[in-house]
Structure formats: structure tokens, C-alpha cells
């Protein structure tokens, strides 16, 4: 259970020992990481990998996380050709979430809104909530909600997910 992007229903890795002998070895995934500070003062980390090069239409995935005060913007960018099904998952911690008008409100244990998630994309987006689990420690699982952002389209595709602490103030 991890906050990740799935392409065509597949994870970006092939588990060791599960690759049939007649398929190419895709275990040597190339990855990059870059960190810095934007001119406006936001700190960011940007990573990309080639874990989806095994697809018939290979995909390169980049994820950028920028912190603006107490707000966070996650940008997923998929490069390649052809059409693909894309799913972006965010596993939530304690509390609960409510979906309304394309935005997920995160509530604390008392039911007070403490943050929101709003996805935007260059393709049509569907968003839903489902049940899953998070690991709160080694070998310890807790039930949680999962925000699933799904879309289908031709590449390139960009998905921006804005997490704000105050639903009325974009970046406080």
C-alpha cells in the first residue's frame, strides 16, 4: 500500500523471481531525483523512473512534490505515446474523507475539515474513495480510505493534486 501511479493496471516494478525467462529483464530501472527551491520560495523534490518501459507503448513517469507553506502540490507527469489507463492513489491516515464536487475533504476524528485534495488534469478525471490499509509500523496494518484518481487518455498526461490545509485558502 503506497501512494503511487499505476499505468494500465500495472505497478512500476516486476517482483524479483516473477519474470518469465522469455521476457526481457526490466529490473534495471533508471531513476533520477532532483531537489531544490523555486524562485517563489517553495521547496520541491522531483523524481522520475523508467519502470513502465516494459509496456508496448513505454511510459516515463515523473512525480514532483512542492511544499508551499503548509500546502502541498503533487504533480504526476506521464510521457510517452499511445493511450493508457492511469490511476493515482493516495492512502489516507486516521480520520475520514468525504468526496463532493470532485474534491476530497479530509476530516479529523471529530469531523472537522483539516485539508482537501483536488485533482486537475489534462485528461478527464474520475475520483472515488475506497477502503484499504496503511502500515503504521512494521507488520502493523490499519484500515484506511484510499483516494483513487482515474483517467484514460493519450500521452502526455499531467495530473496536479493540490493538498490544502484550509479549503478556502490555496497556499497559506
pLDDT digits (tens, 9 = 90+) for 49-97: 998 988 889 999 999 999 988 889 999 999 999 999 999 999 887 778 8
Q: pTM of the full predicted structure?
A: 0.82
Nearest partner of 7 among 76, 100, 102, 71, judged by Cα: 76
For the segment 39-50, the average pLDDT, to the nearest whole number, is: 93
Confidence band, pLDDT 50/70/90 cuts, at residue 134: confident
* Contact call for residues 91 and 146 (beta carbons, < 8 A): yes
Amino acid at each position: 500500500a503506497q501512494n503511487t501511479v499505476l499505468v494500465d493496471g500495472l505497478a512500476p516494478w516486476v517482483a524479483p523471481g516473477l519474470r518469465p525467462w522469455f521476457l526481457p529483464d526490466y529490473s534495471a530501472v533508471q531513476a533520477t531525483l532532483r531537489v531544490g527551491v523555486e524562485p517563489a520560495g517553495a521547496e520541491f523534490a522531483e523524481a522520475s523512473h523508467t519502470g513502465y518501459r516494459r509496456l508496448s507503448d513505454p511510459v516515463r513517469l515523473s512525480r514532483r512534490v512542492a511544499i508551499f507553506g503548509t500546502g502541498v502540490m503533487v504533480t504526476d507527469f506521464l510521457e510517452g505515446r499511445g493511450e493508457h489507463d492511469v490511476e493515482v492513489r493516495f492512502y489516507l491516515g486516521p480520520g475520514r474523507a468525504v468526496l463532493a464536487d470532485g474534491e476530497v475533504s479530509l476530516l479529523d476524528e471529530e469531523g472537522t475539515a483539516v485539508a482537501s485534495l483536488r485533482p486537475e488534469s489534462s485528461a478527464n478525471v474520475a475520483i472515488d474513495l475506497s477502503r484499504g490499509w496503511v502500515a503504521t509500523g512494521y507488520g502493523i496494518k490499519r484500515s484506511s480510505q484510499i483516494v483513487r484518481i482515474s483517467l484514460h487518455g493519450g500521452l502526455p498526461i499531467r495530473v496536479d493534486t493540490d493538498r490544502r490545509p484550509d479549503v478556502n485558502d490555496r497556499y497559506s
